[in-house]
């Protein structure tokens, strides 16, 4: 009986263009939620600490080569291996704030020219987010934030394609956030949207019907 009284946590995903401030905002959000007694945890994909994550890191930093399909499946496996823990935490009442998820998975591989429907298949059945906040930032503004880094995908042409593909993936879970504002403005905006989600999802079941 007691277990039934635990309200589940919300699965909140932050997605967005490179340099849009996802990591900054995820960590500020978790600090805020924690300070307000909302049990929450920050997760990030790719999780570079696991064995699949180490292979992904080596690919992204150009230390190794992998074919496009293989690395796509590694990114998906990197999410799958986190699913059991994520489900347990959500059901135990912890709200998860996730820095990149399946949308990055599909957008980056499809930007290389692979079929979008193929790209979606390995993630079918992963936990469905309650809210996806997409931090949108024009490429020029992103470049003004210190330019792109040295990792494999951090190139202007790639980032332009990825943004277009991201926008094709918009669904009913998405809310667009204008990331071309001050960190503080964005933070307040995100906070409001997340609090209203956390307040309203408790009676909705946790779903694993992604992309179906």
Three-state SS at 190? helix
Indicate which of Mg ion, ligand Z5A, none lies near residue 8 (CB less than 5 to 8 Å, by partner kind). none
Distance from first CA to last CA of the chain, Å, rounded? 32
d(CA 116, CA 131): 22
Region near ligand Z5A per CB under 6 A, out of 80-88, 89-97, 126-134, 145-153: 145-153
Kind and range of the H or E run holding 42: strand 40-44
Strands (E), 83-186: 95-99, 131-136, 174-178
Contact between 94 and ligand Z5A by CB under 6 A: the answer reads no
Of 167, 183, 188, 208, which lies in the binding site for ligand Z5A, with binding defined by CB under 6 A?
Answer: 183
Q: Please, are residues 124 and 135 in contact by the beta-carbon 8 Å criterion?
A: no
Parallel, antiparallel, or unpaired: how do β-strands 40-44 and 131-136 relate? unpaired
To the nearest whole angstrom, how small is the minimum distance from the Cβ of residue 39 to ligand Z5A?
A: 23
Contact between 105 and ligand Z5A by CB under 6 A: the answer reads yes
* Site pattern 63..92 for ligand Z5A (x: CB under 6 A): ------------x-----------------
Site of interaction with ligand Z5A (CB under 6 A)? 16, 18-24, 45-46, 60, 75, 100, 104-105, 108, 145-146, 151, 153-154, 182-183, 186
């Amino acid at each position: 009986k007691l277990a039934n009284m635990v309200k589940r946590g919300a699965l909140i995903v932050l997605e967005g263009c490179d340099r849009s401030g996802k990591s900054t905002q995820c960590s500020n959000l978790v600090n805020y939620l924690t300070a307000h007694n909302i049990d929450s945890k920050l997760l990030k994909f790719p999780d570079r600490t696991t064995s699949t994550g180490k292979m992904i890191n080596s690919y992204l930093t150009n230390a190794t080569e992998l074919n496009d399909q293989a690395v796509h499946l590694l990114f998906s496996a990197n999410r799958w291996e986190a699913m059991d823990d994520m489900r347990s935490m959500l059901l135990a009442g912890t709200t998860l704030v996730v820095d990149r998820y399946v949308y990055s998975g599909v957008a980056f591989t499809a930007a290389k020219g692979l079929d979008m429907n193929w790209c979606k298949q390995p993630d079918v059945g992963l936990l469905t987010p309650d809210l996806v906040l997409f931090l949108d930032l024009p490429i020029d503004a992103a470049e003004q934030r210190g330019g792109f880094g040295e990792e494999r995908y951090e190139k202007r042409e790639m980032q332009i394609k990825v943004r277009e593909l991201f926008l094709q993936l918009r669904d009913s879970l998405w809310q667009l956030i204008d990331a071309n504002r001050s960190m503080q403005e964005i933070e307040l905006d995100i906070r409001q949207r997340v609090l209203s989600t956390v307040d309203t999802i408790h009676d909705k079941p946790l779903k694993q019907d992604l992309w179906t």
